[in-house]
Structure 1
Amino acid sequence: MVYSLLGFYQVGNNTFCFAIWFTKSWGATTVWMANRDQPVNGRGSKLSLLRNGNLLLTDAGKIMVWMINTVSTSSARLQLLNTGNLVLYAWEKTVIWQSFDSPTDTLLPHQILTKDTSLISSRSQSNYSSGFYKLFFDSDNVIRLLFNGTEVSSIYWPDPSLVTWDAGRSTYNNSRIAVFDSLGYYRASDDLEFRSADFGAGPQRRLALDFDGNLRMYSLEETRGTWSVSWQAISQPCQIHGICGPNSLCSYTPAYGRGCSCMPGFKIVNSTDWSYGCAPETDIACNQTEVGFFPLPHVQLYGYDYGHYPNYTYERCENICLQLCKCKAFLLNFSDGLYDCYPKTLLLNGFSSPNYPGTMYLKLPKASLFPRYDPLEEFTINCSGNTRYIQLDTTYRKGHENGSLKFLLWFAYVLGVLEGAIVLLVWLFLFRVHHDPVSTMQGYILVANGFKRFSYAELKKATRGFTQEIGRGGGGVVYKGVLLDRRVAAIKRLKEANQGEAEFLAEVSTIGRLNHMNLIETWGYCIEGKHRLLVYEYMNMDPWHKSYLPILLIGRRGSK
């Protein structure tokens, strides 16, 4: 193993740290630094080994920056071993200090992590000062990863939602030691153990807590001088706390890696450093009438819950957050057929995952929830029959024009029309693909009367697979079902399935405008593929003959 100790490693413009690094790796990878948080000037700074055995680093102004604070009664010598350990010996070859006992962000083979030592990440890839992440033995004898931010701190590895034994750890051994060998085998006293992907003799290895908060083992490919990851603690980088800063969302795809973005209503603080996160664009008032909630499907914010409220509806959870000034958002997590409510007091550790079943509702000023311009108003089909035609004067009134000019004008006109048509088609396509932000509010797709839009799977579950038939008519079959909010409903499954979505929604809207004492209240509808269903208030039909049911439940237009 080849290391180099040149005394000073350049970390900035005329700034240096006393360090140890690999000589055969591209970029000279550092493994230890003495003064990472207080670099010295390139001129006039020096490292001194005093007669009493003390090792002292002074700046250009002879200001003491770092020392080991040891005393020896005999002569001392400093030696860099082949293991990468910098050792200070007394004359009798007694070790009075070694760099292995004060690691920075890296462990080398046979270097022991103890209850008195820890790894601290660097601030960034180019900033070697102490960062926000720490690997250490906790008071319960478990080795953990901690995000230690400027305002908050939190454990994120092992998974804090798991109890210790479910995470494969033990709290019974209080020796608190961890070490890995040159073959790539790691073992800790809390029963954590792993092998590198290239386990075996050969490559040089190091275990580093990187600036992004992940603990990784690297193997050196000496022919190219590059490091490859042979093990890492966390495979999903968005599970690392604080990675994108407050008020932001982390997303990850294997193709593009990790990405950070601000939540709606927030703007980035420092475009070169996501750890600062995002700041609100406007102040959020505590007045309930001035705020609303913006839905973020498949988004989770870990930690900082005001409380846990099981089996809560959207309205009840929303009311808690409205009454609590410090509530920034609330999470509705769907599990076992019920919704759990988690009001959030801080917007930290947010990540987006398509497999997450919950929805985050972000508290924002009402003025920023919806755009003032409504594209539906401009592109709504007018069915009133009162159509106006306006004759547009497109004649070119200039009296003197030649044939070439006229041709160019007509060519430009035709080209403009074609461009406008293409833009309109693209806009309409995007409009059909992306849901209107108003329609996603509160997890519902609303028509003019405010009906809830149910999914087909939700209604199939409510009716237990459409098994309890309570009526049959010309328009379809009616089943009894129990909705997620425990309301008993009559669910009508329509026979005809060829009707378009717009036509069906128009009929649902018509039903909503009807008001008659003999009509059962309509609660919602389902339109999914060829499935068309209507959801009504359930009424006990024992006093009625089943033949009256098709009259009470409004059928589709044209049902016989």
Structure 2
Amino acid sequence: MSTSCSGALRAATTKALLLLVVAVFVVSLSRPFPCAAAARDSLLRGASIAVEDHATDVLLSPDGTFGCGFYVVSPTVFTFSVWFARAADRAVVWSANRGRPVHSKRSRLKLNGRRRALVLTDYDGEVVWNSTVSANATATATAARARLHDSGNLAVEDASGNVLWQSFDHPTDTLLPTQRIAAGEAMVSSDKLLAAGFYSFRFSDYAMLSLVYDNHEMSSIYWPNPYYSYWQNSRKIYNFTREAFFDASGHFSSSDNATFDASDLAKNVAVRRRLTLDTDGNLRLYSLDEVTGTWSVSWMAFSNPCIIHGVCGANAVCLYSPAPVCVCAPGYARAEPSDWSRGCRPTFNSSDDGGRPRAMKMVPLPHTDFWGFDINSSENLSLDECSTRCMSEPSCVVFQYKQGKGECYPKSLMFNGRTFPGLPGTAYLKVPADLDMLEIHIHQWQADSDGHGIAAIQEDIVGCGGMSSPEFLLNVSNASSSKSNQGKSIWFYFYGFLTAFFVIEVFVIAFGCWLFSNKGVFKPCQVSALDEGYRMVTNHFRTYSYAELQKGTRKFQSEIGRGGSGVVYKGVLDDERTVAVKVLQDVKQSEDVFQAELSVIGRIYHMNLVRMWGFCLEGIHRILVYEYIENGSLAKVLFQGRNSGMFLGWKQRFNIALGVAKGLAYLHNECLEWIIHCDMKPENILLDEDMEPKITDFGLSKLLNRDGSGPDMSRIRGTRGYMAPEWVSSLPITEKVDVYSYGVVLLELVKGMRISDWVLDGKEGLEADVRSVVKMVVSKLESNMESWVADLMDDRLHGEFNHLQARLLMQLAVSCLEEDKNKRPTMKYIVQMLISAEDEAHAFT
């Protein structure tokens, strides 16, 4: 009996434990946020949230839908944001001061009782954002708490629950149900790092709700259809309400009569939704599947991304086939190989070497249009009359002509070019008559000798498994009025060809997707044209194969430099770009860490930093691909210039000092990943064809915390002669190590030789240390005598330099070389000082 009872007891205990485990598992799955136990829905007055506790200290809405706290943009960059806690991708719906993120150490959000209630501070205590209490609040209103509501609204309230400030009044790129957008407010697109983009959703000057592209140089409305009048767009203008919102059912309405509905309207009013102005400029309404945590698009403004302004930049054309592909107009080349939004630049001059205008011709681009910027417009003109107008107007670069009414639109700028079958009219581009366009380049419009337009198009539709369809050529002839029958025949075959091609293409894509779907052989895939615009614009960084780089460098034979981190080779890629290929040595990071660090470097762009195009990561190979800089390193030009025939004048040297300072200031203060170079020296400063400096190898040292307390700091070292005392003293490493190295570079830049080669006290061949040189320079500067010039300046300058600028460089060098890092200036301060002295520049060479 006792045995039976004990067995039953064990069985009951086992069952209870199993039930307990299951209950704990179910509860853990139902938690909307991994740290819900530590979450709260409000922040009381005097309380704060530290960035170090971002994983555990969050505000959570009562129903668990929304979270609020420090959001991880990258390992060292955070924003204070509100996001969907139940979504798999934690879609951010609001952020405080998107253009100014904070660091991963010592940043904090605190709630004060004063008018500036929520206060966000960076690592150094600098206030980067605050929620100023509304002017409508009473003078005695005191913030009692900040609360995150179930609607996603973050509100600062007084003790009675009255709202003093709310995030709903300050939209970023997303609108939530019941949140309103009013006059003076705007949704602004975000990039991958949550910074503000070029697209906005707001009421225009005519009080019409619009999508606007603005890159700070040009601005244009692209929704509603700018070709239509307001009544054709079913809108009302000059409405005084100027308010728009959408409800939980998915219905959007605006005071100007703009309205649209979600495809799942009213099917389930409990569906969580968001209206987001995405990076590619498309406005989309999303619905959340709370079971899977994924988003689906239930409405979007554009099914054809080429209609969105700015996708391909100026002097470029967007081809819709049906994925958007950017191409340069004939005679133009990409301004930035990795960024189509920068458009294309002309490869020709409008005048010859003598300054005389060149003979021009018109190249037809059928079914092509460029938005706006019309010099004038006319009707009832023949094609020849329209062409003559453009030819006689120097500012005309292209004109669009529409048959029928004889509509003629000469334009001074080619912006938002687009082409697809059925688009009315032909664009005629003005180019030099002798411009050779016989050679076909992929991604570039060309013309044959008869002036007929030929488009070389490379399909860029992402198929299953990342495959793309083959390249094809499309030969389009210009149909003039004198050859109408021939033109009709040509267009008949043209449209027949397109129809057949698209039918085949749809069949191939459908078959491919089935093949790679769960019903087929491989994994599921999606072909989404609406994602292509985003991918096209944001893909600035690519992976190269080892075979591709081996071919481009002729099996790594053209060595142009080597250092402690690896060997650099010159190469020419398949797209005819000349690049510098760096084969890294002794890389111990794992593949994931290596890729993570490179993804950060690939996002960095500054005119005084060498641009990285991509990398190779195959097997044991770790290779970086950089832009090729023509004149090599500053060390080569400055120290070997006596034998190479190259010489830097004073103006060039001062510009190099300023450019390097700007590059380092950007790394230290402005880019989202605060980077310390750790090996600043003339060998790592390259000079382009205009002798503009570009810093290289800035990403090869470990991406550091600002206090220099990273665990891997012991393995990072600079170069002897340029290393700050902190390296030897085992003190925390900060950006001030770069300031020290910059000081050494300044001295060598002025003197024209390495410090180790300087002559001190009349003794030659003495390897001078930095402290001895600094002591000597200080004594010269304090003497206030002009004799210091002859001793400290490069004798090759023959006295042709700006004395005030030379003295400033010496003073800055001395301050940079302080042993106490706290006494050294910041690179930001150095840039300011150099810019203030730049006006003193004279035309020295």
TM-score range, shorter chain: 0.5 to 0.7
- C-alpha displacement of 1:95: 0.5
2:349 pairs, out of 267, 283, 295, with 283
| 1:45 lines up with 2:107 in the alignment | yes
- C-alpha displacement of 1:229: 0.8
2:435 maps to 368
Secondary structure (helix, strand or coil) at the match of 1:7 reads strand
Give, in whole Å, the separation in 1 of the partners of 2:224 and 2:398.
26
Give, in whole Å, the separation in 2 of the partners of 1:73 and 1:92.
10
Secondary structure (helix, strand or coil) at the match of 1:229 reads strand
Q: Residue 337 of structure 2 aligns to which amino acid in structure 1?
A: S
1:24 maps to 86
Instruction: Map 1:30-429; keep pairs closer than 5 Å.
Output: 30-52=92-114, 54-70=117-133, 73-122=141-190, 124=191, 126-171=192-237, 173-200=239-266, 201-254=269-322, 257-285=323-351, 289-335=358-404, 338-371=405-438
- C-alpha displacement of 1:199: 0.8
Query: Do the aligned residues in 2 keep the contact of 1:3 with 1:20 (CA within 8 Å)?
Result: no
Give, in whole Å, the separation in 2 of the partners of 1:129 and 1:363.
38
Give, in whole Å, the separation in 2 of the partners of 1:262 and 1:458.
28
- C-alpha displacement of 1:182: 0.8
| 1:7 lines up with 2:74 in the alignment | no
Secondary structure (helix, strand or coil) at the match of 1:173 reads coil
Map Cα deviations across residues 447-490 of structure 1 (whole Å, 9 max, x no partner).
xxxxx54425879xxxxxxxxxxxxxxxxxxxxxxxxxxxxxxx
Give, in whole Å, the separation in 2 of the partners of 1:375 and 1:121.
41
Q: Residue 94 of structure 2 aligns to which amino acid in structure 1?
A: W
Secondary structure (helix, strand or coil) at the match of 1:455 reads helix
2:466 maps to none
Secondary structure (helix, strand or coil) at the match of 1:119 reads strand
Q: Cα gap change, 1:263/1:458 in structure 2, threshold over 3 Å: closer, same or farther?
A: closer
- C-alpha displacement of 1:171: 2.5
Give, in whole Å, the separation in 2 of the partners of 1:66 and 1:314.
58
Query: Do the aligned residues in 1 keep the contact of 2:479 with 2:487 (CA within 8 Å)?
Result: no
Give, in whole Å, the separation in 1 of the partners of 2:208 and 2:102.
37
Query: Do the aligned residues in 1 keep the contact of 2:188 with 2:277 (CA within 8 Å)?
Result: yes
Q: Cα gap change, 1:194/1:444 in structure 2, threshold over 3 Å: closer, same or farther?
A: closer
TM (norm. structure 2) is 0.44
Map Cα deviations across residues 343-389 of structure 1 (whole Å, 9 max, x no partner).
1100001100210231111111223244399999xxxxxxxxxxxxx
Structure 2 gaps, min length 5: 1-62, 134-138, 441-446, 450-470, 490-845
Q: Cα gap change, 1:261/1:371 in structure 2, threshold over 3 Å: closer, same or farther?
A: closer
Q: Residue 129 of structure 2 aligns to which amino acid in structure 1?
A: W
Give, in whole Å, the separation in 2 of the partners of 1:162 and 1:62.
52
Q: Cα gap change, 1:262/1:72 in structure 2, threshold over 3 Å: closer, same or farther?
A: farther
- C-alpha displacement of 1:134: 1.0
Map Cα deviations across residues 513-544 of structure 1 (whole Å, 9 max, x no partner).
xxxxxxxxxxxxxxxxxxxxxxxxxxxxxxxx
Give, in whole Å, the separation in 2 of the partners of 1:248 and 1:375.
19
Secondary structure (helix, strand or coil) at the match of 1:8 reads strand
- State which drifts further: 216-225 or 277-286: 277-286
Give, in whole Å, the separation in 2 of the partners of 1:76 and 1:38.
27
Q: Percent identity?
A: 37
- C-alpha displacement of 1:138: 2.2
Instruction: Map 1:538-557; keep pairs closer than 5 Å.
Output: none
Give, in whole Å, the separation in 2 of the partners of 1:40 and 1:236.
37
Q: Cα gap change, 1:372/1:230 in structure 2, threshold over 3 Å: closer, same or farther?
A: closer
Secondary structure (helix, strand or coil) at the match of 2:406 reads strand
Give, in whole Å, the separation in 2 of the partners of 1:372 and 1:209.
40
Give, in whole Å, the separation in 1 of the partners of 2:297 and 2:474.
39
Q: Cα gap change, 1:324/1:224 in structure 2, threshold over 3 Å: closer, same or farther?
A: same
Q: Residue 220 of structure 2 aligns to which amino acid in structure 1?
A: S
Give, in whole Å, the separation in 1 of the partners of 2:111 and 2:317.
50
Higher relative contact order, structure no. (Cα contacts within 8 Å, ≥ 6 residues apart):
1
Give, in whole Å, the separation in 2 of the partners of 1:5 and 1:25.
11
Query: Do the aligned residues in 2 keep the contact of 1:121 with 1:134 (CA within 8 Å)?
Result: yes
Q: Residue 311 of structure 1 aligns to which amino acid in structure 2?
A: N
Query: Do the aligned residues in 1 keep the contact of 2:311 with 2:340 (CA within 8 Å)?
Result: yes
- C-alpha displacement of 1:133: 0.9
Whichever structure has more helix as a proportion of its residues is 2
Secondary structure (helix, strand or coil) at the match of 1:17 reads strand
Structure 1 gaps, min length 5: 377-429, 446-451, 460-560
Give, in whole Å, the separation in 1 of the partners of 2:309 and 2:448.
39
TM (norm. structure 1) is 0.65
Query: Do the aligned residues in 1 keep the contact of 2:331 with 2:348 (CA within 8 Å)?
Result: yes
Cα RMSD, aligned residues only? 2.7
Q: Cα gap change, 1:222/1:315 in structure 2, threshold over 3 Å: closer, same or farther?
A: same
Secondary structure (helix, strand or coil) at the match of 1:133 reads strand
Query: Do the aligned residues in 1 keep the contact of 2:330 with 2:437 (CA within 8 Å)?
Result: no
Secondary structure (helix, strand or coil) at the match of 1:303 reads coil
- C-alpha displacement of 1:17: 0.6
Give, in whole Å, the separation in 2 of the partners of 1:93 and 1:136.
30
Give, in whole Å, the separation in 1 of the partners of 2:263 and 2:253.
15
Give, in whole Å, the separation in 2 of the partners of 1:3 and 1:234.
29
Secondary structure (helix, strand or coil) at the match of 1:325 reads coil
Whichever structure has more strand as a proportion of its residues is 1
Aligned residues: 389
Q: Cα gap change, 1:42/1:375 in structure 2, threshold over 3 Å: closer, same or farther?
A: closer
Give, in whole Å, the separation in 2 of the partners of 1:266 and 1:139.
35
- C-alpha displacement of 1:236: 2.4
Give, in whole Å, the separation in 2 of the partners of 1:187 and 1:14.
41
Q: Cα gap change, 1:118/1:284 in structure 2, threshold over 3 Å: closer, same or farther?
A: same
Give, in whole Å, the separation in 2 of the partners of 1:72 and 1:47.
23
Give, in whole Å, the separation in 2 of the partners of 1:75 and 1:116.
26
Query: Do the aligned residues in 1 keep the contact of 2:369 with 2:425 (CA within 8 Å)?
Result: yes
Q: Residue 356 of structure 1 aligns to which amino acid in structure 2?
A: L
Q: Residue 317 of structure 1 aligns to which amino acid in structure 2?
A: C
Give, in whole Å, the separation in 1 of the partners of 2:328 and 2:448.
25
Query: Do the aligned residues in 2 keep the contact of 1:295 with 1:443 (CA within 8 Å)?
Result: no
Give, in whole Å, the separation in 1 of the partners of 2:438 and 2:321.
30
Give, in whole Å, the separation in 1 of the partners of 2:91 and 2:128.
23
Q: Cα gap change, 1:350/1:91 in structure 2, threshold over 3 Å: closer, same or farther?
A: same
Secondary structure (helix, strand or coil) at the match of 2:390 reads helix
Q: Cα gap change, 1:353/1:72 in structure 2, threshold over 3 Å: closer, same or farther?
A: farther
